[in-house]
Amino acid sequence: MMQRVDLSRTHRLKTFAAKATLVARRVRAHFTTPDSIETTIRNLPYVANEGELAGKVVLVTGAGQGVGLVLAGALAEAGARVALMGRNLAPLEHAKQRLIAQGAVVQVVVGDASDPEAAERALAEIDARLGGVDILVNNAGVGGPWGKPFWEADPRAFREAIDINLSGAFLMARAAARLAVAQNRPLRIINVSSLATEMPGAGMAAYNSSKSGLESLTRAMAADGDGHGITVVTLSLHSVQTERKAAHDWASNALLPPAPVVVPAFLHVATAPAAEVQGRVVASWRYLAAPEAETLLAGPKSLLVPIAYPPFLHQGQATARDPLRFSIHDRAENPWGPSPEALQAIDRSLQAAPLSHYPDERLSELTGMLAHLHGLPEASFAFGPGSWEVLARLVSLFAKPGEQVVSHDPGWFGFNLVCRRAGVTQARARFHLGDAQSPPSQNLRAILDRITPQTRLVYLINPANPEGTPLLQAEMDEFLDALPPRLPVIIDEAYIEYAAASGIFDTVAAVKLRRNAIIGLRTFSKFYGLAGARVGYAYAAPDLAQLVRNTENIFSLSSPSAAAAAAALADRAYYAALHARFINERKTVFQGLEQRGLAPLPAETPFVLAHRPQNAEELFERLENEGIYIARYAFHGDRYMMYPVAQAATTEAIFHHLDALASG
C-alpha cells in the first residue's frame, strides 16, 4: 500500500524555503546596494559660511539629547561658544562633558523655557558668562498627547505642548531680543519646527498646532525684527533618529536617517545672509536634496524638476523626434492628423491678425462654438494651453500642499507629476483588470473607500489611461450619489471622442443637471490632431467654471491655435470619417492581439492595453529598425503595454514582428 504524502507539511517546507531565499536576497542587496539614506549621508551639502560661527555665542534649548545635542556639537565644532539649556541638570552635564572633550567652550543653564522668569534669567546668565547671545536656537519641544484623537487628549498635556513648543520659543526669543536691542547688537533666532506642519497626522493635534503656530510666529517676529538687526528663521526637520524614539520603537528608529544629516541645513540658516532667511521656513530634507533651490525658494517648489520626456533615440543615437521621418506612436497622437480646414484656419488667422498683435483674450469664436456643441452657456468654459496646464491649475486651485486627492493606480503619469509638483498627497485605488467573475472596470468602490474628510479632489479618466475602459453611466450614478455633493470631481475626457460603446457616462449631461461639483476636461491634442497648437479646456456649471477662469492667464491661447480649434469643431464630416476609421482599426488591433493570446482589454481609446510579449525589448528594436516607435511603458506589474491604434501599415508591422518573435 502506498504511503500517503503529507501535502500540508510539504507545502509548508517549500514556502519556508522560498521565503527564506527571498529574505536572503534582500539581505544581500542591503549590504551591496546603497539605500537612499546612505546616499544622502555620502552627499551632505557643504556650507561655505560655516567659519563665520567662530567665536559666536549660541544658546540651544532642549540641548541635553537628540537633535539639540547634535546641533550644539556642530556649532562647537565650527568654533562657536555654546550654552546648553534644559530642565534637568544631569543630561546637560553629560552633554557638556562630551563637548568639552572635543575642545568646545560650553556653559550649562538649567531652566524651563516656558517660564518667563526662567527665560530672562537664562539670557542674563549667558550674557554674564559668555557675553551677549548671538544666536538663539529654540529647539526645546515635547510631543504632547500622542496617538489619540483630540477629544481624548489630556488638556494639561495639550497645554504643556503649546507652552513649551510655542510659548517657550516666544519667551526665549523675547528675552534674547530685549537684551540685543538694549545692547544694540544683532541677533539671529532659529526656531526648530517639523515636517508635521506640511503633512499633519492623526493623533498629533497638540504637536501639529504648536509647530504650525511656531512657523507663523517666525514670520511675525521677522516683521518686527526688520530694522533692528534681528533675524528670525524656522528650520523644519524631517524624522531622524533620537534617543526618545529609540526607547519607544528601536527598530523603526533605526530605519530613520541619523540626526547629523540635519546639520548642513542648520548651518545654512545659522550663517546665511539675513536677507536670504528672514521670516522663512527652510526644510532640512529639501535642503539636502536641492540646497541651492531651497536657499532661494524655501518651499516645496525647491524640489521641482523640469517635466520632459527622455531624449528620442534612433538606433541608440539621440535625434530629433521627427514625425515626417519616423512613424511615431508613443504619445497617442493622431496618426491621420487634423482637418485640412483647421490648417487653413491657421493661415487665415495669420493673414487677419499679425503675430505682433495680441489674440482675443475672450476667445469669443471658440467659446461660442463649444457652447453650441455641448448645449452649455458660454460661462461654463475655461481655457488653457493644453489640458495638462488646465489640470495643473485645477489641482492647485482645490488642493493645498499636504492635502489629499484621490485617483487611480497607476493612472496617467501626467496627473501624478502634477500632484507631485503641487505638493498634494495622492490616495490611489487599483484598477480592476477583470477576471472570470467580472469584466474590467474603474473600480469606483475602491475610489470611494479612499475618500476621507481630508480629500479635496477626485480625478477620474474617461475612458481610462492606460486601460482604455470607460466610465459607465450606471456605475457613475451610484458613485456620485455616495459622494459629498460639494467634493470636486474632475472627469478627464482626453480620449472621449474616440469612444463608441453605449452606456458611457455623459459628463455634459451631469454638468447641465448641476449634479455634484463635476468638471469636465478636454483637449484638442488627441482626436482633433492639434497637439502642437496646445488647446485645452474645462467645462462646468458657470459658478464653478468661474473659479477655474480666475486662475487663467490672459492671452493663454494664440490666435492661430484658437482659430484651428474652432475650425476643427466646424468640420464635422472630416471627424466623423476619422472616428469611423479609428473604430475599424481598433477592432483590427483588438482581434489581432486576442488571436495572439495577449489578452487585450476592451478599449475606447486610440490604444489597446494588452500583455507584453516575453521578448518585448526585441519587438521594440525590430519596429524601431523600420522607423516605427511605440510606447515602451509597462503597466500593472510590467505585464501590460499599450498597442497603438494606427494606420494599417503600422498595425501589420506590429503583428508581423509579434508573429516572428513567437515562432523563434
d(C-alpha 516, C-alpha 24), whole Å? 52
Residue with cell 507545502: 11
Cβ neighbours for 216, distance < 8 A, ≥ 6 positions apart: none
Contact 535, 369 (CB under 8 A): no
Q: What share of the chain is helix, strand, coil (3-state, %, to 5)?
A: 50, 15, 35
Instruction: Sort 659 into a burial class: Cβ within 10 Å, 0-12 / 13-18 / 19+.
Output: exposed
Cβ neighbours for 39, distance < 8 A, ≥ 6 positions apart: none
d(C-alpha 427, C-alpha 218), whole Å? 32
**For residue 274, what are the CA distances in angstroms to 171, 326, 592?**
22, 55, 67
Return the C-alpha cell found at 620.
521594440
Q: Which of 241, 244, 218 is nearest to 230 (CA)?
A: 218
Q: What is the DSSP string of 627-657?
A: TEEE----BTTTTEEEEE---HHHHHHHHHH
In 580-617, which positions are buried (b, 16+ CB within 10 angstroms) versus exposed (e)? eebeebbeebbebbeebebebbbbbbbbbbbbbbeeee
Tell me which H or E stretch contains 578: helix 572-595
Contact 164, 141 (CB under 8 A): yes
E strands, 208-291, in order = 230-237, 281-283
Task: Work out the number of other CB atoms within 10 angstroms of the CB of residue 321.
Answer: 16
- Entry field: residues in the chain: 664
Sheet holding 187-194, edge to edge: 105-110, 81-86, 57-61, 135-138, 187-194, 230-237, 281-283
Continuous H helices in 353-461: 364-374, 387-398, 413-422, 444-449
How big is the CA angle at 546 (ends 541 and 552), to the nearest 5 degrees?
130
Q: Which of 39, 72, 36, 62 is nearest to 260 (CA)?
A: 72
HSE-CB at 145 with a 13 A cutoff on CA atoms is 17
What residues does 538 pair with on adjacent strands?
Answer: 382, 521
Contact 357, 458 (CB under 8 A): no
Annotation marks residue 207 as catalytic:
yes
d(C-alpha 508, C-alpha 541), whole Å? 10
HSE-CB at 203 with a 13 A cutoff on CA atoms is 3
d(C-alpha 471, C-alpha 56), whole Å? 65
- Residue from 207, 537, 629, 640 carrying the catalytic annotation: 207
Tell me which H or E stretch contains 543: helix 542-549
Contact 454, 432 (CB under 8 A): no
DSSP-derived letter for residue 326 is S
d(C-alpha 333, C-alpha 647), whole Å? 12
DSSP-derived letter for residue 552 is P
Give me the active site residues, please. Answer: 207
